[in-house]
Amino acid sequence: MSALNLDDFAHLIERPDGGARRDAEERRQRLAVPPGALGRLDELGEWLAAAQQQVPVRPIERPRAVLFAGDHGVAALDVSGRPAGTAQKLVRDVLDGASPAAVLARRAGVPVRVVDIAVDCDPAELPEDVTRHRVRRGSGRIDIEDALTAEEAERAFRAGMAVADEEADAGTDLVALGDLSVGGTTPASTLIAALCGTDASVVTGRGGAGIDDLAWMRKCAAIRDALRRARPVLGDQLELLAATGGADLAAITGFLLQSAVRRTPVILDGVVSAACALVAQRVAFRAPDWWLAGQVSGEPAQSKALDRIALNPLLDHGVTAGEGTGSLLALPLVQAAAALAADLPVRD
């Protein structure tokens, strides 16, 4: 396996087609619907035209929900609303159609792909197509040890890249991204605090499952301890993911960057995907042009990351479930924008 050079992404990732965006803006002026009447849907249609390099845009016909799964050792400190080591249940609920994301995807006719990167269970307990990219069982306790070895971080990052290539090759035209993690908001908040140069208390939220005040204080302390280990490696994003991220976060970062290389638009979900997007932006500054923020998750760290990336969430309905629900809720809005941009007639 050749050495992974993250600097290559800065050269490989191009911006969406500015000429197509201008053509889409010009076409919008000629629609029978008055300018501004469709609000942000106009902006989304123009963004899709630039991503597709086509005017009028193609309708979104082959979307896919991609959910990366993993356990985090820091959950053993009772910083999560779920027991440590229970990401397997989240995975099983999705596969059984019993999670909010699974229900939303089923109703919308969107296939769901679950990628086990670091679930803490025997791989034989899950389907082979779910576990084939697994790097390890769980990630290390980031307040006292590295989440991953350098080799594991690269394997996870490459696994995410491979999934992005598989989706692009399969014709996926929009990805609704998500994570199935237990303890994942703690490393995500650590990464965001480290990259934004802020204190743990500013980014510590209560997670999708909700935690009480004592758990919040434990989580804040864990993030503060992890930050001491993150700051010395801020100059190397792969080292940062190894030190205070996790296998699923490394994979999502690789997925986001390679999706941008392959010109595949992605809708981000909550704080975990926002943290990975922030890391990916440090690798390739043009990459965020290929992403949308699905919804406000209620996590302060997500708001900080999206502000730094300059992404404005499409929705704010107070939904904190995570697990891909935010990106899936935003997906019909993006599909509607594509359909309107594609099908509304222009004035003669």
Nearest 10 degrees: CA dihedral of 105, 121, 298, 67? -30
Taking phi over 0 as left and psi of -120 to 50 as alpha, with beta for the rest, 84 belongs to beta
pLDDT band with cut points at 50, 70 and 90 for residue 260: very high
- Tell me, yes or no, whether 348 lies in a domain: no
Q: Do both 82 and 25 map to the same domain?
A: no
Please give the average per-residue pLDDT across 269-281, as a whole number. 97
- Tell me, yes or no, whether 1 lies in a domain: no
Contact at 8 Å (CB) between 48 and 337?
yes
pLDDT score for 34: 87
pLDDT reading at 243 higher than 60: yes
What is the pTM assigned to this prediction? 0.96
**Residues sharing a CB contact under 8 Å with residue 344, sequence separation 6 or more, in sequence order:** 31, 32, 33
Q: Do both 73 and 30 map to the same domain?
A: no
Q: Do both 25 and 113 map to the same domain?
A: no
Q: Do both 140 and 156 map to the same domain?
A: yes
- Tell me, yes or no, whether 277 lies in a domain: yes
323 carries an active-site annotation: yes
Give, for 131, the enclosing helix (H) or strand (E). Answer: helix 128-131
User: Residue 96 sits in which domain range?
Assistant: 63-333
Q: Say which residue the tokens 């959950």 belong to.
A: 75
pLDDT score for 1: 46
Which candidate in 152, 239, 299, 323 is catalytic?
Answer: 323
Name which of 334, 333, 348 is nearest 32 in CA terms: 348
Would you call 70 helix, strand, or coil by DSSP?
strand
**Residues sharing a CB contact under 8 Å with residue 107, sequence separation 6 or more, in sequence order:** none
**Residues sharing a CB contact under 8 Å with residue 236, sequence separation 6 or more, in sequence order:** none
Q: How far apart are CA 5 and CA 9, in angstroms?
A: 8
Q: Do both 49 and 180 map to the same domain?
A: no
pLDDT reading at 329 higher than 70: yes
pLDDT score for 81: 85
Q: Do both 68 and 111 map to the same domain?
A: yes
Two tokens, residue 230: 């993150």
Give, for 67, the enclosing helix (H) or strand (E). Answer: strand 63-71
**Residues sharing a CB contact under 8 Å with residue 238, sequence separation 6 or more, in sequence order:** 4, 6, 150, 153, 154, 157, 250
- Tell me, yes or no, whether 327 lies in a domain: yes
The predicted-structure confidence for 137-168, as pLDDT tens digits, reads as follows 999 999 999 999 999 999 999 999 999 999 99
pLDDT score for 314: 97
pLDDT score for 212: 87
Q: Do both 42 and 156 map to the same domain?
A: no
Please give the average per-residue pLDDT across 263-285, as a whole number. 97
The structural domain count of the chain equals: 2
Please give the average per-residue pLDDT across 103-118, as a whole number. 97
pLDDT reading at 2 higher than 60: no
The predicted-structure confidence for 67-100, as pLDDT tens digits, reads as follows 999 999 999 999 988 999 999 999 999 999 999 9
